[in-house]
Amino acid sequence: MKLMGHMIAGYPDIESSIDIGRGILKGGASYLEVQFPFSDGNADGILIQNASMDSINNGFNTKDGFKIISTLAKEFPKAKLIAMTYANIIYAYGIYEFIRDIKAANGYGLIAPDFLYTKDDHEGIRGICAALDVKFIELITATSSDFRIKEIESSSNAPLLYVVAREGITGASTDISPALKASLKRIKTLSDKEIYVGFGINSHAQVKLLQGYTDGFIVGSYFVKCAKEALSKENAVRKTDLVTKLKEATMSLLN
């Protein structure tokens, strides 16, 4: 299976966040979400919320996010870099301008959890993504109806769907239950796209249990926790070691 890793742009600072991204990509991630921090991310657990606030308090601005994507895209040309953020950030920057700058930074796609799918796409975000060849990655839930899944799948310009494994916020561990496996199996029969499952995936044991039910998995809070532990006063790894620490953390999920 493939991995979509996740990092908070600007946490704990710009250069360190780039090192975190480097480590995740060197560890074997195929995709990397670069989260542009927002003060009130309604899908974020406490680890991501706190890291986002640290980034904002340290002066992060939206243009910094595109610089981070650009830096990592140049170093890892085969990796797919995805901007992830919330509607407020995109509206404040300008929808067209935000998507244009993802493309200019050699980014691959966009995840915006609070831009829910509607048939008329009244915000225009999906049409702009399609016009600029930026993949807009849609979120569905494990309990989405067959009709809803087919509707979203047929309209998406991305090669994958993001399946939210459970209700609530990120961070807490998700039980890889028979019901979840059955839902993923159903979704795979309804869609020709790759299926990636996320929310609460934080161990190799969970990944093994998902084998055969999904094409990939998405991991967020786990990487924030790994970075926080590496950067704590007790550990205080050198800058060069941060890449290694995150590489090892990534490989422990995949291998």
- List pLDDT tens digits, range 100-109: 999 999 999 9
Alpha carbons within 13 angstroms on the beta-carbon side of residue 139 total 17
Q: Which residue has the tokens 């016009």?
A: 131
Show the tokens assigned to 70: 């650009």
**Distance between CA atoms of residues 143 and 149, nearest Å:** 10
Confidence of residue 146 (pLDDT cuts 50, 70, 90): very high
Check whether 111 has a pLDDT greater than 90.
yes
Closest CA to 162 of 147, 181, 134, 184: 184
Q: Which residues contact 179 (CB under 8 A, 6 or more apart)?
A: none
Give first-to-last CA distance, the chain, whole Å.
Answer: 10
Percent of the residues in the chain that have a pLDDT greater than 70, as a whole number: 91
Percentages (nearest 5) of helix, strand, coil residues in the chain: 45, 15, 35
Q: Which amino acid is at 55?
A: S
Contact 165, 183 (CB under 8 A): no
Confidence of residue 173 (pLDDT cuts 50, 70, 90): low
Q: Residue 247: what pLDDT?
A: 96
Q: Residue 46: what pLDDT?
A: 82
pLDDT tens figures, 31-59: 999 999 987 656 566 888 889 999 999 99
What structural domains does the chain harbor?
Answer: 2-133+202-254 (3.20.20.70)
Give the 3-state secondary structure of residue 50: helix
Check whether 216 has a pLDDT greater than 80.
yes
**Distance between CA atoms of residues 145 and 158, nearest Å:** 20
Q: Any idea which residues carry the catalytic annotation?
A: 33, 44
pLDDT tens figures, 222-247: 999 999 888 875 566 665 588 999 99
Q: Which residues contact 237 (CB under 8 A, 6 or more apart)?
A: 230, 231, 245
Closest CA to 83 of 71, 97, 98, 61: 98
Judge residue 205's burial from the number of C-beta atoms within 10 Å of its C-beta, 0-12 exposed, 13-18 middle, 19 or more buried.
exposed
Check whether 166 has a pLDDT greater than 90.
no
Q: Which residues contact 252 (CB under 8 A, 6 or more apart)?
A: 204
Show the tokens assigned to 152: 């979203």
Q: Residue 235: what pLDDT?
A: 60
Closest CA to 212 of 175, 239, 183, 185: 185
| pTM of the complete model | 0.91
pLDDT tens figures, 70-94: 999 999 999 999 999 999 999 999 9
Confidence of residue 170 (pLDDT cuts 50, 70, 90): very low
Contact 33, 65 (CB under 8 A): no
Judge residue 233's burial from the number of C-beta atoms within 10 Å of its C-beta, 0-12 exposed, 13-18 middle, 19 or more buried.
exposed
Check whether 119 has a pLDDT greater than 60.
yes
**Mean pLDDT across the chain:** 90
